[in-house]
Amino acid sequence: MKSTNTKIYIFIGLLLCSFSASLAQEKESIGALETDRPDATEASSTVPQGYLQVETGGFYQTFEKNQIKTENFTYNTTLVRYGLSDNFELRLGWNLQEDVTHINGQKLDNVLSGFSPLLLGMKVYITEEKGWIPEISLIGHVFLPLTASTDYRPETTGVDFRFSLAHTLSEKSSLGYNLGMAWGNDSPEASYIYTIAYGYSISEKFGAYVELYGDLPEDSQANHLWDAGLTYLVSNDLQLDMSFGTSITEGQDLLLSAGLSFRLPINNNQ
């Protein structure tokens, strides 16, 4: 079993090792923003130094089993990313959500609503793509129970980490994938997490992707899902997105999502 302290020590150790690695890396000019939404695959790029990037939106999910249907409305899923250096970013995220349950078509009165635990984390850029070696970053988060609303407050601190990797396939296509582990929802068991996404540039403004992702808990049934979506680059610093998906294994029946991301310089030197 993994105690809360053990999970936090793992996170801190990864953070220290990653920050040391980041000091030795340099990256090129900023170009168009790259986001960690709308797919589940986190990008291997980091936010440029001195820039603040906000990625926000909402999504709708449904789950139905044995005449019990649950609707999840996430009204605001926001991730704020700040480039502390050209290869190291700080991350903060918070979701405002609501869960509604229906039994045999009848809506129950006990609607759950409020904020999920606050996410605090980092992403460090480890290496650029070189031949068969992919571009690689390391991402880690902690989820703080005391910041959550009563309906979504766990008793223990959640932790996750993942390696984000990316390959350029052609001028218009790329492959990104994540591998990592997570501990959360008051469960002592670890979940192995994976994602793989194929992205294609339809034009200079429009992009599309299709993705397979999921998790494999140590003592529970694996969950496998897919989604697909479109992005529209309004400018180098503003992107719109939309996506849809469902699960392959038993679970999520429908996922719909839409959002936007923007980037701002926050000091006079940018």
Q: Which CATH number is 47's domain given?
A: 2.40.160.40
41 φψ region: left (φ > 0), alpha (ψ -120 to 50), beta (else) = beta
The identity of residue 80, as a single letter, is V
pLDDT, position 124: 98
Q: In the predicted model, what is the mean pLDDT of residues 235-263? A: 95
Q: Are 114 and 151 in contact (CB under 8 A)?
A: yes
Q: Is residue 270 part of a domain?
A: no
Q: Is residue 69 part of a domain?
A: yes
- 109 has a pLDDT exceeding 90: no
Q: Is residue 31 part of a domain?
A: yes
Radius of gyration of the chain (CA): 19
256 φψ region: left (φ > 0), alpha (ψ -120 to 50), beta (else) = beta
Q: Is residue 107 part of a domain?
A: yes
State pLDDT tens for residues 182-216: 998 888 889 999 999 999 999 999 999 999 999 99
Domain of residue 13, residue span: 4-265
pLDDT, position 28: 46
What is the spatial distance between Cα 127 and Cα 138, in angstroms, rounded to a whole number?
10
User: What is the residue whose two structure tokens read 């990316």?
Assistant: 166
State pLDDT tens for residues 35-58: 999 999 999 999 999 999 999 999
Q: How many CB atoms lie within 10 A of CB 243?
A: 23
Mean pLDDT computed over every residue of the chain:
89
Rounded to two decimals, the pTM is 0.86
Number of domains, the chain: 1
Q: Is residue 194 part of a domain?
A: yes
pLDDT, position 12: 53
